[in-house]
Amino acid sequence: MTSTSIRRLGLACSLVITLLPTLAKGQDGHDAIRNELSIDRLPPDFYDFKPDERYSPARISVWQDTTDWLIDEHDTQSERIRSFGNWLDERLSGETAVEANNESYLRLGLASHWEKNQTSLIKPEARFRLDLPTVRRKFRLVIENNPVETVPLAQQEKDRQLTQPQRTDTGSFGAFRYLMSLANHWDMSTDIGIRLRIPPEPFWRARARRGWAITPEWDLHLEEKLYAFTGKGWGASSWAGFSREYANGWHVLSATELRWVDREGRYEWSHTVQGEKRLNVRATLVPRVGILGWSQPSWQATSYFTDMTYRYRLYKTWLYGEIIPALDFQRDNHFHANPSITMRIEVFFTGQELNTDNR
């Protein structure tokens, strides 16, 4: 910084100090500045800039070079995923013009989980989805990993608290999905596919869901599923949720699910109540309380839990961080409190902006 710049900075600071008492007396800010700051009080050279003072030299650092490379690489890979989705969409739909904005994405993350008497190291995570919107009225190709029907209900409800090694390894699945509607009220779909492994394992599933307003404040959502997976047997589930919006920005959801697991010959059930509030354009807070249970040897609760997810958008709409403190009270542990905390960083590779809050 040159001596002239230092002198200008000192003048600016002195003017601010001079204005503070005037503003503290309640005088209008514009009038105070106009009265206290006159052209006669500033030297003529205050408005003169030398050529070498107008522009700052570029800062070159390892951190700057690394972040620039990461951002460029993210944009490149996101474009490749979008292009691949559009290309496959065009081939399957048979149309030359496809919807440019599909919701295909790849999600990579790093997560660490700590709980009483147990600490896990940072573990990598990966999830993906391939979306083909142009073939929506015909057959739709679905490729995904870890579908919810193949994991226990307790793991599904606590998925965000877990790291990849703590989840059930179900692999990847590919299916053709047929979409339809019943009387313009129920949205229905049927999937026929295979688990992508050697040898392949076929599966089938069907889903129907509907939502409607039951009062001016409350909405009701229903979802019914029936499925059969080779090696896991068949199952069925019913889910019902009541939701409403509050004036202070909170969205509340009370949901109950009952699932029949034929291979184990029992029902699994859960009930959760959660609130969601967007604190600002970057941060979201989601507190929850819940209860889990099953029907064998009798209808009983297996655990109670509460957690709070603080999710923060670190950069644009593709880099997120979250912290999830939780308390778990399990029957196997005599319902003693088991505190835990999960920390995660996620990167989304996609060709467009997505609602990534709950993926």
For 352, which DSSP code? Answer: S
* CA separation for the pair 312, 154 (Å, rounded): 26
- Both 297 and 203 in one domain: the answer is yes
- Both 50 and 108 in one domain: the answer is no
Q: How many domains does the chain have?
A: 2
Torsion angles phi and psi, residue 235, rounded to 5: -160, 170
- Both 44 and 110 in one domain: the answer is no
- Both 16 and 157 in one domain: the answer is no
- Both 228 and 327 in one domain: the answer is yes
- Both 49 and 111 in one domain: the answer is no
- Both 198 and 343 in one domain: the answer is yes
* Site of tokens 């699910």: 257
- Both 252 and 343 in one domain: the answer is yes
- Both 163 and 232 in one domain: the answer is yes
- Both 316 and 195 in one domain: the answer is yes
- What pLDDT was estimated at residue 97? 46
Domain assignment present for residue 22? The answer is yes
Domain assignment present for residue 77? The answer is no
- What pLDDT was estimated at residue 358? 42
CA neighbor of 344 nearest in space, from 325, 316, 323: 323
Domain assignment present for residue 72? The answer is no
- Domain of residue 22, residue span: 3-54
- What pLDDT was estimated at residue 103? 59
Domain assignment present for residue 356? The answer is no
Give the residue ranges of the chain where pLDDT is below 70. 1-65, 81-104, 119, 130-139, 169-170, 182-184, 351-359
* Site of tokens 């807070």: 285
Asked if residue 297 has a cis previous peptide bond (ω within 30° of 0), the answer is yes
- What pLDDT was estimated at residue 354? 47
Tokens of 330: 């399990």
- What pLDDT was estimated at residue 48? 65
- Both 38 and 183 in one domain: the answer is no
* CA separation for the pair 121, 138 (Å, rounded): 45
Read off the pLDDT of residues 301-351 as tens digits, 9 standing for 90 and up.
999 999 999 999 988 888 899 999 999 999 998 899 999 999 999 888 775
In contact, 205 and 225? CB cutoff 8 Å:
yes
- Both 28 and 110 in one domain: the answer is no
Q: How does strand 300-315 pair with strand 233-245?
A: unpaired
Q: The CATH number of the domain where 253 resides is what?
A: 2.40.160.40
Select from 54, 74, 89 the last residue of a domain.
Answer: 54
Domain assignment present for residue 325? The answer is yes
